[in-house]
């Protein structure tokens, strides 16, 4: 089984080519748009949802079949044609051009696979079974979405502000990583969830700095 390397990509302003215009292709678009990708869909037909995206200017739709050269300038590509021979030809072009390709439900013609996603605020969890079982990945996603542990993501803003403050003071690297963990308390989380971010930040910084400030 292929051992995949997990990674998050910055797609802002980068060209993403989706070949295929069905429901699977449409399902990829919203998250790609959220990532800032510039999307081109190539397909002789398209779902009403893709047509609306195109009409609104959210993506460019070329109403035709795939042809060699369509991946020129692409950063990533997605083959959602459901035709293995077409996927193979797209994969061959992607390999030649150095373009990362995901062929939906066709692992042999993939250079990357798309994980199942759990997201809360800026925190994203990616789940992959290496292509072995999409059903299992979905089950794990649904379980994690229902888990109370995901609520800790609500502290992301406070944590980011604390890191920025410590960085400005030149103290970020002096804080023991284990100290961060001990400062993450249910009380701090509750403050962040009830609009008391400033108070939560103050308490967090006090807890982190008390262990690093010189004592007289």
Confidence of residue 210 (pLDDT cuts 50, 70, 90): confident
Confidence of residue 211 (pLDDT cuts 50, 70, 90): low
Q: Could you give all domains of the chain from N- to C-terminal order, each with its CATH number?
A: 1-114 (3.40.50.720), 116-146 (3.30.160), 152-209 (no CATH)
The answer to whether residues 54 and 41 touch, using CB atoms and an 8 Å cutoff, is: yes
Instruction: Give the DSSP H/E element, type plus range, for residue 17.
Output: strand 15-19
pLDDT tens readout for residues 153-164 = 999 999 999 999
What are the tokens at 53? 């995206």
pLDDT higher than 80, residue 215: no
The answer to whether residues 14 and 37 touch, using CB atoms and an 8 Å cutoff, is: yes
Q: What angle do CA 129, 132, 136 make, to 5 degrees?
A: 60
In the three-class reduction of DSSP (H, G, I as helix; E, B as strand; rest coil), residue 77 is classed as strand
CA distance linking residue 186 with residue 40, whole number of Å: 45
Which regions of 65-194 does DSSP assign to beta strands (E)?
A: 76-79, 100-103, 116-120, 123-127
Confidence of residue 4 (pLDDT cuts 50, 70, 90): confident
Which pLDDT belongs to residue 1?
67
Confidence of residue 151 (pLDDT cuts 50, 70, 90): very high
Mean pLDDT of all residues in 68-82 = 96
- Strand 100-103 relative to strand 60-62: parallel, antiparallel, unpaired? unpaired
Alpha helices in the chain, H assignment, sequence order: 23-34, 48-55, 84-97, 134-145, 156-168, 177-183, 186-193, 197-209
Q: Which residue has the tokens 């939560």?
A: 200
pLDDT higher than 80, residue 19: yes
pLDDT tens readout for residues 156-188 = 999 999 999 999 999 999 999 999 999 999 999
Cα end-to-end span (Å), the chain: 59
Confidence of residue 214 (pLDDT cuts 50, 70, 90): very low
pTM: 0.81
pLDDT tens readout for residues 79-92 = 999 898 999 999 99
What are the tokens at 46? 């398209």
Mean pLDDT of all residues in 107-119 = 89
The answer to whether residues 68 and 53 touch, using CB atoms and an 8 Å cutoff, is: no
The answer to whether residues 118 and 125 touch, using CB atoms and an 8 Å cutoff, is: yes
């Amino acid at each position: 089984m292929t051992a995949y390397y997990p990674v998050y990509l910055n797609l802002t302003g980068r060209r993403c080519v989706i070949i295929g215009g069905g429901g699977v292709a449409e399902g990829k678009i919203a998250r790609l748009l959220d990532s800032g990708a510039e999307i081109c869909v190539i397909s002789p037909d398209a779902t009403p949802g893709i047509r609306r995206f195109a009409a609104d200017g959210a993506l460019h739709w070329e109403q035709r079949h795939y042809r060699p050269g369509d991946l020129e300038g692409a950063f990533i590509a997605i083959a959602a044609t459901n035709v293995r021979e077409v996927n193979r030809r797209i994969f061959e072009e992607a390999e030649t051009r150095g373009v990362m390709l995901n062929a939906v439900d066709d692992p042999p013609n993939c250079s990357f696979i798309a994980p199942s996603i759990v997201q809360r605020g800026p925190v994203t969890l990616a789940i992959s079974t290496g292509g072995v079982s999409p059903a299992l990945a979905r089950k794990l996603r649904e379980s994690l979405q229902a888990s109370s542990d995901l609520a800790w993501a609500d502290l992301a803003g406070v944590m980011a502000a604390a890191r920025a403050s410590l960085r400005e003071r030149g103290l970020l690297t002096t804080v023991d990583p284990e100290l961060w963990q001990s400062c993450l308390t249910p009380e701090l989380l509750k403050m962040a969830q009830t609009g008391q971010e400033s108070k939560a930040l103050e308490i967090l910084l006090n807890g982190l700095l008390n262990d690093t400030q010189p004592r007289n």
